[in-house]
Amino acid sequence: MAKQLYTRTNMIWTAIVLSIFAVLTLLMQTGMINSYYESTLFTICVNIILAVSLNLIVGICGQFSLGHAGFMAIGAYVAGIVTRYIPTYGGLFIGILLGFVISAIAAIIVSVPTLRLRGDYLAIATLGFSEIIRICIQNMKITNGAAGLTGIPQLTTWPILFLAVVISIIICTNFVRSVPGRAAIAINDDEIAAEAMGINTTKYKVIAFVIGAILASLAGSLFANYFYVLNPNQFTFNKSIDILVIVVFGGMGSMSASVLAAIVLGILNMYLQQFTDIRMIIYGATLILMMIFRPQGILGTWEFSVDRLLNKMKRKKEAV
């Protein structure tokens, strides 16, 4: 394994990721990123996890899901409740794992019956599902109902969150560049041909959906343990749409695009906070303009690749 891990591409990626981490950490410690900017940064990170995981379902696999907020809510409340009883990193870890289990089971229940069918049945099922989750949360004692959950320990530190973002991106990109991932892309391209090539289409649609749901749950858990208050209104249909907007704005099927869009829209949102009256108008107008002039998203299906960059530099050198 070691040999394949220590390739030049992986080393460069590691270097890039570590430098980003180092720079941001430094900026936080010197106070250049103050607590206001910090909450934006954390929101962006959570949104990156949500967007890449939804992109896996919508962009890669071509299955329209409108319930991502539901899975996020599961992760958030499970981790929130667990860490209130066990306010340690161990508690956070248990909460995250428990969130994975519950969201995976929920994802299987929602997707298996609907993904056997061709067409957009998943959209309706996930929409209903996330509403059910929200209403359950609103009416349960353990979640403290509509009043919401408070006093969740703030266990999501910057290194933990950053690590989670990196792992989520790696999982999604690894999935795309593998047999199951190629199967998912093939289903999106031509379901009949994919099936004729020996692909159990239902199985791969469900796998992609479950991975997406688990990562959304991870995002929810980390969200809960940073912002330390939860209430059911944070996980409405609007939240699912917000995530979908990031995916479409960036470019369906490109993970780099989802990351970029989460950052751009996160920063835009932060600056628009000051103009509360016209915030939604500007935000909405940006999206409409985007869809008119660049319907494929900022990056389309383009993916950032160190390999390609290296090849380009090599060719340039040879030319000189």
Partner 1 sequence: MEPILEVSNLSKNFGGLAAVSNINMTINKGELVGLIGPNGAGKTTFFNLLTGVYEPSEGLIELTIDGKKKQIGGLKPYKITSLGLARTFQNIRLFKSMTVLENVKLAMHKNAGYGVASALLRTPKFYNAERWIEEKACEYLQEVGLYRKRFEKATNLPYGEQRRLEIARALATDPVILFLDEPAAGMNPQETDELTKLIYHLRDKYNLTVVLIEHDMSLVMTLCERIFVLNYGQMIASGTPEEIKNNEFVIKAYLGEEI
Interface residues with partner 1 (CB under 8 A) are 1, 4-5, 171, 174-175, 178-183, 185-186, 188-190, 192-201, 207, 211, 253, 301
Q: Which is nearer to partner 1, 28 or 185 (CB)?
A: 185
Q: Which is nearer to partner 1, 45 or 210 (CB)?
A: 210
Query: Which one, 109 or 193, has the nearer CB to partner 1?
Result: 193
CB of 63 to partner 1, least distance (A): 16
**In the bound complex, what is the minimum distance in angstroms from residue 149's beta carbon to partner 1?**
31
CA distance 277 to 270: 14
Distance CA 97, CA 113 (A): 25
Task: Report the nearest approach of partner 1 to the CB of residue 116 (Å).
Answer: 10
**Minimum CB distance to partner 1, residue 178 (Å):** 3
Assign 271 to helix, strand or coil: helix
Question: Smallest distance from the beta carbon of 183 to partner 1, in angstroms?
Answer: 6
**152 vs 183 by CB, closer to partner 1:** 183
DSSP 33: S
| Nearer residue to partner 1 within complex by CB, 194 or 263 | 194
Q: Give me the residue label for tokens 């934006």.
A: 40
Long-range contact pairs involving 80-87 (C-beta distance under 8 Å, separation at least 24): 80/149, 80/152, 80/221, 80/224, 80/225, 80/230, 81/142, 81/143, 81/149, 83/152, 83/153, 83/155, 83/224, 83/225, 84/149, 84/151, 84/152, 84/153, 87/153, 87/155
The residues facing 230 across adjacent strands are 149
| Cβ closest to partner 1, residue 242 vs residue 303 | 303
Q: Between residues 115 and 171, which has the closer beta carbon with respect to partner 1? A: 171
Q: Please report how close the Cβ of residue 196 comes to partner 1 at its closest, in angstroms.
A: 5
Q: How far apart are CA 263 and CA 269, in angstroms?
A: 10
Helix ranges, the chain (H): 2-5, 8-29, 35-55, 68-85, 89-115, 121-139, 158-176, 179-189, 191-196, 201-227, 237-250, 255-272, 279-293, 306-319
Least CB distance to partner 1 at residue 198 (A)? 4
Q: What residues contact residue 272 under an 8 Å CB cut-off, 6+ apart?
A: 278, 279, 282, 283
Contact indicator for 56, 225 with CB cutoff of 8 Å = no
Dihedral, 227, 38, 45, 105 alpha carbons, nearest 10: -10
Q: Count of alpha carbons within 13 Å of 229, Cβ hemisphere only? A: 6
CB closer to partner 1, 74 vs 207 = 207
d(CA 125, CA 108): 12
Min dist. Cβ of residue 214 to partner 1 (A)? 11
Q: How far is the CB of 165 from partner 1 (least distance, A)?
A: 16
Q: Phi then psi for 230, rounded to 5 degrees?
A: -130, 140
